[in-house]
Structure 1
């Protein structure tokens, strides 16, 4: 076991040796229509106009990354991307993010996004050696820093299906959180969210690929979508914008699973989670109101 672990870590280290992607800079006008598309996808009331504050983590539906179809790999992600590590048979999973709002982003204003690799970590988990890549993105308007996000993606090298998770089997029990909601995303919800976030990863729409290649029991609900449900629950029920938001994805949720978003406020802070069954956690989050 130890030998296999050491070999996997050594192989990952060898794959990324010399990989030092340079920082990138992008611009986006933060068109309010894109925010309204997300609101419609999430079945939220109200519309957004130029000058309105953009809630976190809604910045994810801006700065689209849309390479040619011919440049996509077998998993639907770009075969080669600026922040994609050169790992053979690469598998990708969103791990979590930490966001800090110094000044709210305003819709309709030209926004600069500066991104760079903040850290690389290699760990060994139950599915083998994994590479954690944390990319820091800083969003600026009028030269001022508005939002900082540290986003961590986990990569592993694996040619075969691993069947790492099963869907929730127990019925969703009643919870006691002061704020809660039970979103029920459908296949069309996932399709629209994928389009809004420029995400062509096949685990979110291609059932044969999901089961035969990735080894999951069904289409996977986007981790960022689950985090958005939590952030929106806190924002709408607390009637205040989040100035800090941190979340960690622990287990995937599959299309058709019944789940609940929960939030427990305590003054200016709030703890959140997504659960299935009798309290199995899939997402854990914390936030602070401004």
Structure 2
């Protein structure tokens, strides 16, 4: 998870010739698939419930897991000798060997068909569906879209599209233009951030990216002003808050997009705004009133 993040990481000493060859062959990776199996064991669910301070989650065998908690499974487990300098698995494998140094989970789109239950044997099919190159303010960017389909013995459970963006390493931290928080949210919740929360979430998702727990690395190498708050953790916190404010509803679809980096030293607030279609727009907001992540949840017609 990258952040629940897919595998692939920073290149070491890639030559200009090798970089050009990689770029020329990127489209050859479109259509590549990968299969994986796992089981929804109860211990990771209990640990995430404790990490989020949610005593009401029942992780007994057969109990349904909250939506997005399937991120606790299908983890990118590789030997220590195959870890790159940023903490991610070395480049190669399923994802293309893009030579840009920085990688982030930019956005995601979800359809929930059936709830994953504790004890379920799960199967996941992953497919690279799109690779697109763009020019941004910081230079060349490459977006890789991966579609994951998670199934249990009952049939499809979750369809997920994950957009991963690759960027050059900046010389200094230059944030994008901020988006202001909504003025009159339907609800607003503060969240206490600390390094322990970031570390525990990294551990639960087997996310070794050092920007989330190694402050000298985050500052000196990737040029961030502090430990970076995971995109998936923000997405999870938002959906959990939305479910608390609509306890009788079930998410049918969920989308999120990171628009501004948030950090472990930030003062975090979760906000929700009702939509005319019955869903909710969701926002993580820092102490300066800048939106970090935008998300939208659409509720199923049936109640829980």
Q: TM-score, normalised by structure 2?
A: 0.84
Counterparts in 2 of 1:31 and 1:146: CA distance versus 1, 3 Å? same
Asked if structure 1 preserves the Cα contact closer than 8 Å seen for 2:67 and 2:251, the reply is yes
In structure 2, the gaps of 5 or more residues are: 1-18
1:242 aligns with 2:251: yes
Aligned pairs (5 A) from 1:1-290: 13-14=23-24, 16=26, 18-20=28-30, 22-46=32-56, 47-142=58-153, 144-158=155-169, 161-165=171-175, 176-239=184-247, 240-266=249-275, 268-277=278-287, 279-290=289-300
Cα distance, 1:19 vs. partner? 3.6
Equivalents in 1 of 2:22, 2:263: separation in Å?
29
Counterparts in 2 of 1:133 and 1:175: CA distance versus 1, 3 Å? same
Cα distance, 1:87 vs. partner? 2.2
What is aligned with 1:3?
A: none
Counterparts in 2 of 1:229 and 1:174: CA distance versus 1, 3 Å? same
Counterparts in 2 of 1:206 and 1:118: CA distance versus 1, 3 Å? same
Counterparts in 2 of 1:284 and 1:96: CA distance versus 1, 3 Å? same
Counterparts in 2 of 1:11 and 1:252: CA distance versus 1, 3 Å? farther
Q: 1:44 is paired with a residue of what secondary structure?
A: coil
Equivalents in 1 of 2:22, 2:134: separation in Å?
10
Cα distance, 1:17 vs. partner? 5.6
Q: 1:225 is paired with a residue of what secondary structure?
A: helix
Asked if structure 1 preserves the Cα contact closer than 8 Å seen for 2:31 and 2:129, the reply is no
Q: Deviations for 1:119-141, whole angstroms, at most 9, x for unmatched residues?
A: 11111111111111111000111
Q: 1:264 is paired with a residue of what secondary structure?
A: strand
In structure 1, the gaps of 5 or more residues are: 1-8
Equivalents in 2 of 1:217, 1:276: separation in Å?
14
Cα distance, 1:259 vs. partner? 1.9
Equivalents in 2 of 1:153, 1:34: separation in Å?
25
User: Alignment length, in residue pairs?
Assistant: 277
